[in-house]
C-alpha cells in the first residue's frame, strides 16, 4: 500500500457590494459579506491499482446584482419579479468520494462515485398568486391569477448522487459486460403564498453494455438502459410528474 496523502485548509473571503439604483427609488444599498471557506482532500493508492479519493469544500455564493436591486420587472404582466436588497450570501457544502479497483488477471473492474451537496440560505423564489386584480405600491396592476415573485433566503436544499459500474469478462460470448446504476435525489425549497414548498426530485437509472472481442473482423456493442424520474411537491401537487424511458443501443 502506498502511503495516503491529504490536505486541509481554510480560506477567508471578504466582499463589498454597493448598489445605487435610480428607479423606482433613488436609494443606496451597501452590503458586506464575510465567509470562511474550509476544504479537505484525502487520497490513498494501493499496490493492486485500487485507489480512493475524497474531497470536501465549503464555499460562499453571493447574490447577483439583479437579485439585490429593488427594481420591479413587469415585462411579463402575469409574472412580475422584484429584487430583495436584504439577501444574505449562500453557504454551500459539497463532498465527493470515489473508489475504483482493477484486476487485470481476471479482467474485472469496479468504480463507485458518491457526491452530495447542501446549501444554507439558498436563494429561492417566494411567489404570491393573487386571486383578483391587485394594485401595487409601485403603480402597476397585477391581474387575477397573476404572480409576483421575489428572491428570499431559505434552507432545505440537499442533493445526493451515486454511480457504480462493475465490469467483467463473459467467456462464452468472448465479450466484456459492464453493469451500471445511478441514483439521484434533490430537494429544492420555495414559498407559495406564504407556505413553504419542497420539491423533491428522485432519479434512478439501470443499464448494461456488452462489448465483444471475438476477432479482428467480428465485433459488436450492445447496450440498454432504463430511466425512472419522479417529482413530488408538498404544496403544489399539480406540478408532480412521473417519467420513464427505456433505451436500447446496438452497434
Got the DSSP string for 162-184? EEEEEEEEEGGGTEEEEEEEEEE
19 pLDDT exceeds 70? no
The number of beta carbons lying within 10 Å of the beta carbon of residue 127 is: 18
Q: Among candidates 4, 60, 66, 1, which has minimal Cα distance to 34?
A: 60
Higher pLDDT, 189 or 215: 189
Q: Is a pLDDT exceeding 80 seen at residue 17?
A: no
Please give the mean pLDDT across all residues of the chain: 85
pLDDT tens-digit readout, 211-237: 887 777 778 889 999 999 999 998 888
pLDDT for residue 146 is more than 90: no
Q: Over range 48-65, report the average pLDDT.
A: 89
Banded model confidence at residue 115, pLDDT cuts 50, 70, 90: very high
Higher per-residue confidence, 72 vs 109 = 109
Q: What is the rounded average pLDDT of the residues 1-28?
A: 66
Region 9-34 average pLDDT: 66
Task: Please compute, for residue 187, the number of CA atoms within 13 A of its CA located in the half-sphere on the CB side.
Answer: 14
CA distance 248 to 251: 10
pTM: predicted TM-score of the whole model, two decimal places: 0.79
What band does 22 get if pLDDT is binned at 50, 70 and 90? very low
Lowest average pLDDT, out of 54-68, 75-89, 149-163, goes to 75-89
* Contact in structure between 70 and 25 (CB atoms under 8 Å): yes
Q: What is the mean pLDDT of residues 161-174?
A: 92
| Nearest-angstrom CA–CA distance, 224 and 222 | 7
The answer on pLDDT for 208 being more than 70 is yes
pLDDT of residue 138: 60
Q: What is the pLDDT of residue 214?
A: 74
For residue 217, list its beta bridge partners.
none
For the segment 158-165, the average pLDDT, to the nearest whole number, is 97
Say if residue 139's pLDDT is above 70: no
At 40 the pLDDT is 95
pLDDT digits (tens, 9 = 90+) for 69-89: 777 787 787 888 888 888 888
Confidence of residue 47 (pLDDT cuts 50, 70, 90): confident
Backbone angles phi, psi at 11, to 5 degrees: -115, 150
d(CA 70, CA 10): 34
Q: What is the pLDDT of residue 122?
A: 92
Amino acid at each position: 500500500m502506498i502511503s495516503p496523502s491529504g490536505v486541509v485548509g481554510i480560506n477567508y473571503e471578504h466582499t463589498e457590494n454597493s448598489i445605487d439604483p435610480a428607479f423606482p427609488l433613488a436609494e443606496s444599498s451597501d452590503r458586506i459579506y464575510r465567509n470562511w471557506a474550509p476544504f479537505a482532500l484525502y487520497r490513498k493508492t494501493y499496490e493492486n491499482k485500487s485507489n480512493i479519493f475524497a474531497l470536501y469544500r465549503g464555499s460562499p455564493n453571493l447574490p447577483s446584482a439583479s437579485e439585490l436591486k429593488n427594481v420591479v420587472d413587469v415585462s411579463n404582466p402575469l409574472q412580475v419579479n422584484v429584487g430583495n436588497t436584504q439577501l444574505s450570501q449562500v453557504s454551500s457544502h459539497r463532498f465527493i468520494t470515489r473508489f475504483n479497483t482493477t484486476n487485470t488477471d481476471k479482467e474485472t473492474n469496479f468504480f463507485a462515485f458518491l457526491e452530495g451537496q447542501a446549501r444554507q440560505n439558498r436563494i429561492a423564489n417566494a411567489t404570491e398568486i393573487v386571486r383578483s386584480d391587485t394594485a401595487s405600491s409601485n403603480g402597476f396592476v397585477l391581474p387575477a391569477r397573476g404572480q409576483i415573485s421575489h428572491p428570499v433566503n431559505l434552507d432545505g436544499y440537499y442533493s445526493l448522487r451515486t454511480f457504480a459500474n462493475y465490469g467483467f469478462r463473459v467467456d462464452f460470448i468472448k465479450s466484456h459486460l459492464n453493469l451500471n446504476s445511478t441514483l439521484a435525489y434533490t430537494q429544492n425549497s420555495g414559498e407559495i403564498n406564504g407556505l413553504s414548498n419542497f420539491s423533491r426530485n428522485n432519479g434512478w437509472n439501470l443499464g448494461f453494455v456488452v462489448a465483444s472481442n471475438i476477432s479482428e473482423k467480428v465485433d459488436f456493442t450492445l447496450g440498454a438502459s432504463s430511466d425512472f424520474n419522479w417529482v413530488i411537491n408538498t404544496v403544489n401537487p399539480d406540478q408532480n410528474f412521473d417519467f420513464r424511458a427505456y433505451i436500447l443501443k446496438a452497434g
